[in-house]
Amino acid sequence: MDKHFSKFNLVIYSLPAIAMMIAVSAYSFVNGFFLSNYAGPTAFAAENLIWPLIMIFSTVGLMVGTGSSALIANKLGEKDKGTARRYFSMFVYFAIILGIVLTFVCFVLVEPVAILLGAKGELLDLSIYYEHIMSFSIPGYLLQMAFMVYLILQANLIWAFSQQLFAQ
């Protein structure tokens, strides 16, 4: 990054992030399509009502990934691969444990949040049912978001390394 940062470099650095966000967004589109067409409008409404709660918890993985990738990149820049690997492992374990804890928190919060958002009757029942199934994926979402940042870091490190090779 000590060299001139052109528009081309900005696009190259941004491509992994754009690709990962498209992949993450594809899940929501496909899930909504099949749920609305095959489970009905009430089930689709229940999913849309409760999905933000699950995503709020899963974005913690983005915070873990962003913060830890800065530490890992710093250690890799210092040529301290051993510490970078230990940081990576520590943050992956942390994300898994935090995901398990947030799963239980989500189980506790789903009914009050759904009621606060106006769910009643069948919508409330379907919201709770959907959340109970989806909350088990929170550790996976945390890891997905963290690994998205790690993949972007890896792609940018490869790009920076290739630029150094061609500059010499």
Tell me if 112 sits within 8 A of 79, measured CB to CB: no
pLDDT surpasses 80 at 10: no
- pLDDT tier for residue 96 given thresholds of 50, 70 and 90: very high
Maximal CA-CA distance, the chain: 68
Give mean pLDDT, residues 62-75.
Answer: 87
Tokens of 102: 């947030």
Between 163 and 103, name the one with better pLDDT.
Answer: 103
Tokens of 70: 């800065």
What confidence score (pLDDT) does residue 168 get?
Answer: 62
| Predicted model pTM | 0.73
With CA atoms as reference, report the closest residue to 110 among 61, 58, 46: 46
Q: Each residue of 79-94: pLDDT tens digit?
A: 898 998 999 899 999 9
Report the C-alpha gap between 35 and 32 in whole angstroms.
5
Tokens of 50: 């409760």
